[in-house]
Structure 1
Amino acid sequence: MSTLTTARPSARRAKRAREVGASVPLTAFLWLLAAVYAFPMLWFLLSAFKPGSELFRYPLSFLPEDPTVAGFEKAWGRFDFMLYFSNTLAVALTTTVLTVMASAMCGYALAKYRDQRWVRVFFVCILATTMLPTEVILSPTFIVIRDLGMYDSFAGLVVPSILTATGVFMFRQFFLSVPDDIVEAARIDGAREAGIFFRIMLPMSRPIIMTLAIFSFQWRWNDYVWPLIVVGDERKFTLQIALRSIVGAENIDWPLLLAASVMSILPLVLIFIVFQKYVMNEDINAGLKD
């Protein structure tokens, strides 16, 4: 009996040692891969603190020998960073809120009112738009926006980006996982359709809301092609268009461009740090029972 008792811990230790030994190469590879991806980003961040004379001096140096924040001061003052930042923030926040609401409503309707054949056909048509490159629909979208009088306005930036097939698909798949008994019980209790959606279904979908909000904000913050086409007034430029205007035909102010680029990515980093826990740790099926 004692021999078996002694053999079992030994077998467990041997199994754990084999597992640890097998995971070491994979862990080392992942760290190497992370370093490969992090190196260009670190070089970019550190280069923002280098003076212009040091950026292209040979041999190149990874760490700034004479750190300076002159590029950040110039970006904040002469570049009018706050104007472009506020424009981008207003567009991104407005679009994100409208995208989440429109996608949630559309996804709920497609999930819970699927008895009609035309609803399924409509959902297939929405998914079909994901197979079209963005460049294909730029021209007709621009014509519609122009004819509606939204050219060179923030509305022209927001309206075409409200409904996304990705958001509709995410909400539809989540609401399909919610038992219909919950909806039927609410109707029996006298709840209206709007009350069922806003008071029951929408709070349940908080993980999807947070995920889509992060994605939508990132998409709109980094959007370049559409604002370049729609906006002509320099006072209405978003950050991405304003950063492109720094690049001149013959001369580029690299310290200014690098500093402004670093400042432009800070909101995305902060949003990811703050809200990632809602996506990573939340149980998407919390509160649901079969």
Structure 2
Amino acid sequence: MSTLSTEPAQASTIPQAADGTSRRADLNAGRRRGPRRPAWLTGLLIAAVVATIGVFILPLYWLFSSSLKPHEQIYSWPLQWIPTQVTLENFLDAWNAAPFDRFFLNSIITTGVGTALEISLAILCAYAFVFVDFRYKKIAFALIVASMMLPGHVTLIVNYITVANLGWLNSYAGIILPGVASAFAMFLLYQYMRTIDKDILQAAEIDGAGHIRRMLTIVVPLSSPMILTCTLIVMVSKWNEYVWPLIVTSTATMRTLPIGLLFLRTQEGYSNWGVIMAGAVFVSLPMLVIFFLAQKRIIGGLAAGAMK
């Protein structure tokens, strides 16, 4: 009798449990999906995204397409978005009209050396603010971060007077050294290094490792995603820097690529836009290639810092 009485009860509870589970799953799925977005709002968002992409993509496309067009197609009306005839004469004329070989060399030296020094100082400062205790640390950190609020042009006159007194005008030292201190890179690395477990460094300290060894063998490898992100950001900034190299240099042999583009415009005037567009491609193409190759690492490094 007991067996016969329990079987219906069990049979009756199974569908109820299954039904209750399915209902809860449906409710949870509904909460995750949220309210359904109206179709007109979805269309508006898509149109906004397409318009934003067009604002950035169309100028780049016009730049590259114009550098490959003959002179008469650039000024034709209606506009010819797709060149019917492709030519490389604009690049040859631009290269011969200005010493772009020297401009490239100067940009590579100033960008490479400047980026290496700036990232090295940023790593040292971030490590000190996170793992080293010293007096007035909070005040020093607040002053460095507050310097990011000041526009860079505020220090132009002071830096120029300092460089002139040191005899560094029209030299690589004058271009590179005033910009090697980066509060932005230091702040990003500081935020990332704060997430590193200090117990690891304490264990290394017990084993006799000093600050330099702890930084190079533990902190730098663990911070490599953010270091790479900061390196790429600083590199692009230094490659495109225009105002300071223009002020501190006076001869064509020390000019960098952005200033070389101004030199090319002075040589060609406002009539030969194909050659000027080709010169602009010389300036923009290296950083565009580096960005597209490393964009996942840049976004991943920033996202990793935000997640941590």
Normalised by the shorter chain, which TM-score bucket? Answer: 0.7 to 0.9
The answer to whether the 8 Å contact 2:103/2:260 transfers is yes
Give the total of aligned pairs.
284
Which of the numbers 110, 128, 149 marks the counterpart of 2:167? 149
The answer to whether the 8 Å contact 1:107/1:171 transfers is yes
Cα distance in 2 for residues equivalent to 1:84 and 1:34:
31
Residue 281 of structure 1: how far off its partner (Å): 3.7
CA RMSD of aligned residues (A): 2.9
Letter in 2 for 1:53: E
TM-score, normalized by length of structure 1? 0.87
The answer to whether the 8 Å contact 2:268/2:276 transfers is no
Query: Residues 107-139 of structure 1, C-alpha deviation per residue, up to 9 Å, x if partnerless?
Result: 1101112x4341211111111211221111100
Cα distance in 1 for residues equivalent to 2:23 and 2:194:
50
Letter in 2 for 1:144: T
Q: Which runs of 5+ in 1 are unaligned?
A: none
Cα distance in 2 for residues equivalent to 1:77 and 1:140:
37
TM-score, normalized by length of structure 2? 0.82
Q: 1:93 to 1:284 in 2, by over 3 A?
A: same
Letter in 1 for 2:123: A
The answer to whether the 8 Å contact 2:94/2:264 transfers is no
Cα distance in 1 for residues equivalent to 2:115 and 2:51:
35
Query: Match of 1:243?
Result: 261
Letter in 2 for 1:258: M
Which of the numbers 219, 227, 251 marks the counterpart of 1:209? 227
Q: Within 5 A, what are the aligned runs for 1:56-135?
A: 56-113=75-132, 115-135=133-153
Query: Match of 1:233?
Result: 251
Identity level (%): 29
Letter in 2 for 1:151: L
Letter in 1 for 2:127: Y
Query: Match of 1:48?
Result: 67
Cα distance in 1 for residues equivalent to 2:273 and 2:175:
29
Residue 184 of structure 1: how far off its partner (Å): 1.0
Cα distance in 1 for residues equivalent to 2:182 and 2:90:
37
Query: Match of 1:267?
Result: 286
Q: Which has the larger radius of gyration?
A: 2
Residue 105 of structure 1: how far off its partner (Å): 0.3
Cα distance in 2 for residues equivalent to 1:6 and 1:200:
49
Letter in 1 for 2:137: V
Q: Which runs of 5+ in 2 are unaligned?
A: 1-14
Q: Does 1:284 align with 2:304?
A: yes
The answer to whether the 8 Å contact 1:210/1:275 transfers is no
Letter in 1 for 2:119: V
